[in-house]
Amino acid sequence: MSEAAGTWSDVPGFVSMKEQHGETTVVVEPDRLVEAATYLRDVAHFNMLSDIAAADYLGWGSDGVSGYIGTPGGRNLNAPMTQGFQTLPEPKPKRFSMSYHLLSVTTEPRRLRLQCWADDGEAVPSVIGVWATAD
């Protein structure tokens, strides 16, 4: 984020930030999602929502799963493997994740994953009012 925009922890509802595989993920509380999205659009200039992805982690880390190996080409969650490592995958904060893939379409393009986590029955608000592409 630019100095004018502040730091990721300035994003409303900020929970955490992670840099992994050349990607930045900012996690926010679900009840502050619209506020965070508006901030990222107006202050940090992420003016395009390119994709929304939901994931259900039911059974994640259960017995019989020794880990998932990610590669630059991706990973197959349906084919858990050990590759010599006998470890369970890290626990997830809640059952469902909602990931919003954002672009800053400017002279210096940037990408960001905005993410929130929800349990079964917990609502996640719509961001259609922030980015029409969410519809």
Within the chain, which residues score under 70 in pLDDT?
1-6, 61-89
Rounded to two decimals, the pTM is: 0.80
Q: Which CATH class is domain 13-55+94-135?
A: alpha beta
Question: Is the CB of residue 115 less than 8 Å from the CB of residue 98?
Answer: yes
Q: pLDDT value at position 3?
A: 44
Q: pLDDT value at position 54?
A: 96
C-alpha to C-alpha distance for 87 and 92, rounded to whole angstroms: 15
The token duo for 111 is 């990408």
Q: pLDDT value at position 42?
A: 95
